[in-house]
Structure 1
């Protein structure tokens, strides 16, 4: 018996796709609002005694520290997602993320309460990390496990495009607040409004997620009473190399992507003590435009990988990303906001090709009984090794060497690691995802297998 998708109507599939897009966009809006604020205001408001240079590094460290807690979120979500279902986990992560984000918007600054301010900021950022660690796996499985076999890539791209939509919303909101509350007004309280707005988004997102049916693959697992008693233990006992290689694939994308989503480029381009000192609002709008091109490239990758395969799409993507990593800083360093925007748009072409196919490839790599745990933990580990401290590392490289091209070489190295992970895994396009095919799902995973 294989999972019967014939009972899933086109309307149901569209509802699931829409719910995963909206829910993921809301989650990542919350996450990216923090990263944007970390690059623009948190160094001043929460780490002022450290001075402008070290205060910025500390601010970026708070972006990275949340990644250390993503595996905790992935472990918890994977355990419950493989035992009680995908949908309840998705609702819980959305509410946790929204509540943490709204509370950040209410925090007093260092000037008001001293050391308690950065400590509370870090605590809420940790809760964001726990939520983000559990969010992604559930969203992609709901999308891919509802999809027809020949369109899994396209359906899997739906939660993926929620990430650039989240960046678009976050950048546009910050740019709007900068325009409405210029100068000290933005620092005083204009930056807080995007955080508080998350309450509205969370109500919409949680309602949508509650409205969709449970994944048909998990429904069959539950019907057959084949839920793993200890999914995490089973995962690492049998598939540790797969988890590590899947994480390596994501390293190359997340390190490069967090140049904008982690706030580094925004800080680099607008730093009043730096060589550029560009207008904050203009840079935020350039990032907003690049998020649109990232969205389109990610969606295109979902369609492309249904035609040429997941692995081939990735290989093309790494080549494109490697080229445009090297053109990014020469364009940014011209001091032209337009050319900065061009550099970011070009970069998103490779980012989209190495992100749009990730949902479906991860889903097809892991067996049904440990799938939620596998995709969640691989994603969380990849984000730690790649994106977690990429803005901090980039800031350190820039300050230590005085050369932005050294930052580019670091990003090129991370891209090469992603390519290595890709070459060591097999394409499993169209494999049966149902628990009835669990035995077949455990073979033919690695490139070295016969």
Structure 2
């Protein structure tokens, strides 16, 4: 088998688990991987929230109400299309020069794009340039988050002891749940403090500008870490990580991408479509819906913690299979609960959807890190996750909106059940990954080696 590699001397020769026994270092790893992804996903989600609440008025008002709303929502989806490209671009450099440097760059890109949105003049000031620049900045966000997730995951898992890899994979996986709660809470406070006119005029910009402070904190934490021991020990560097991935583990890439669909479809639908469903279709007050989303995000975080810890005890596969079976049942029951149209029922339904998502989210992250060879792990894990993000998190809410209009809410539940079933089939083919040594296989082998 022909691959393109180059050999470089490792920066330091030591066991990949050497840093894992250093408790202070592992605490810094946990904090850095959590803070970094929280900041990234905070930036990512405030855009989505603002698109639903204000962008149609600020950037697309001349299109008319219906077209403005559709254009604002379409702008959200631009990032999901950009995310796989981000995973390939940042994955290339993450596999070539290291996880740490690449993560710092992704955070700078995300923070810069987010602050720029907060400073961007509206269409009434600069005309058509405003929505064009908005789309470009959203693309930059998508590229950044496409490169962020895998790097943060590998920063945690490549430092972690093998028996605690699921637990440490949990920390970066807290990013979406805590980022969602933080971004929603920021908009909730802003909308409560300001009247509608002030909020539409300038108040919506505050959460975007606050990102500058969060990014500085995230950079300070990340710069305090060294490169991961697994990467430093790896003496082989792929010259073309994406090509080596496709040559050696394209089957695993396809299955790993499919395995993410159930989790990401549930998350994408819960974080976007259900919020609109609660406020528009069910007629619940906006502040109530935002409050329910904060509670749901915290429940998502708690379930993510539990899922990561349990996966180290029972294995990735049993927990992932069990949570996806639960997801199928939840999908069918979800909308009958929501359609009670009361705040307790809506909150309960949202929490249930997020808990099902969280139980699988951390084990899935650990599994993606364990599937791919070190020389292209950043590229493989990131691409699998972000392909799932396009097909699951981005497409599921759009498909769900069409199904809801034509056949009602039960059809949306059936759609989520289908997503979870497809993921189950892929998980069955991938098998168990707990116990694999991350540094035991190279990019020139077709199958990762297992430890007894």
Structure 1 contact 366–441 (Cα < 8 Å) conserved? no
Distance 1:51 1:354, change over 3 A: farther
Which whole-Å CA distance do the structure 1 matches of 2:126 and 2:407 have between them? 35
- Which of 224, 246, 255 is equivalent to 1:236? 246
Deviations 1:183-239 (A, max 9, x none): 222222221111111000000001110001110011111xx3x11111111111111
> Which residue does the alignment assign to 1:169?
182
> Where do 1:373-412 residues align within 5 Å?
373-399=379-405, 401=406, 403-412=408-417
CA distance in 2, matches of 1:298, 1:330: 25
Question: Whole-Å Cα distance in 2 between the matches of residues 421 and 92 of structure 1?
Answer: 33
Partner SS for 2:341: coil
Q: Which residue of 1 aligns with 2:111?
A: 98
Q: What is the distance in 1 between the residues matched to 2:19 and 2:266?
A: 41
Which of 273, 278, 285 is 1:269 aligned to? 278
Report how far residue 69 of structure 1 moved: 1.2
Structure 2, unmatched stretches of 5+, are: 1-12
In structure 1, the partner of 2:9 is none
Tell me if the contact between 1:83 and 1:229 (Cα under 8 Å) persists in the aligned partners.
yes
Tell me, yes or no, if the aligned pair for 2:288 and 2:343 is still in contact at 8 Å. yes
1:41 maps to which of 54, 64, 73:
54
Aligned residue for 2:4? none
- The 5-angstrom pairing of residues 345-360 of structure 1 reads 345-360=351-366
Secondary structure, in 3 states, of the residue corresponding to 2:238?
coil
TM-score (norm 2): 0.92
8 Å CA contact retained: 1:315, 1:419: yes
1:116-157 CA-to-partner distances (Å, cap 9, x unmatched) read 222111110000000011001110111001011111100111
Structure-1 residue corresponding to 2:6: none
Residues 97-129 of structure 1 show CA distances to partners (whole Å, capped at 9, x for unaligned) of 011111111222233333222211111000000
Matched, 1:367 2:373: yes
Instruction: Say yes or no: does 1:414 pair with 2:427.
Output: no
* Residue-by-residue CA offset, 1:352-387 (whole Å, 9 max, x unaligned): 122111221011111111111110111111111111
Contact 1:426 1:444 in 2 (8 A): no
Q: Does residue 309 of the first structure (1) align with residue 319 of the second (2)? A: no
In the alignment, the residues of structure 2 paired with residue 258 and residue 45 of structure 1 have an alpha-carbon distance, to the nearest angstrom, of 25
Match of 1:426 in 2: 431
Structure 1 match to 2:255:
245
Q: 1:267 to 1:425 in 2, by over 3 A?
A: same
CA shift at 1:442, angstroms?
4.1
The residue aligned with 1:293 is: 299
- Secondary structure at 1:355 match in 2: helix
Whether the aligned pair in 2 keeps the contact of 1:39 and 1:266 (CA below 8 Å) is no
Instruction: Say how many residue pairs are matched.
Output: 437
Q: Deviations over 1:151-188 (max 9, x none)?
A: 11001111001220101101111111111113222222
Q: In the superposition, relative to structure 1, how do residues 343 and 97 fare at CA in structure 2: closer, same or farther (>3 Å)?
A: same
Tell me the distance in 2 between the aligned counterparts of 1:120 and 1:219: 39
TM-align CA RMSD: 2.0
Aligned-pair distance for 1:73?
Answer: 1.0
Q: Secondary structure at the match of 1:258?
A: helix
Q: Please say if residues 47 and 55 of structure 1, whose CA atoms lie closer than 8 Å, have aligned partners that are also in contact.
A: yes
Partner of 1:179: 192
The unaligned stretches of length 5 or more in structure 1 are none
Distance 2:33 2:334 in 1: 31
Secondary structure of residue in 2 paired with 1:354: helix
Question: Hey, what does 1:255 align to over in structure 2?
Answer: 265
**Distance of 1:19 and 1:147 partners within structure 2:** 13
Deviation of 1:268 after TM superposition, in Å, equals: 2.2
- Normalising by structure 1, what TM-score? 0.93
Change (3 A) 1:131 1:243: same
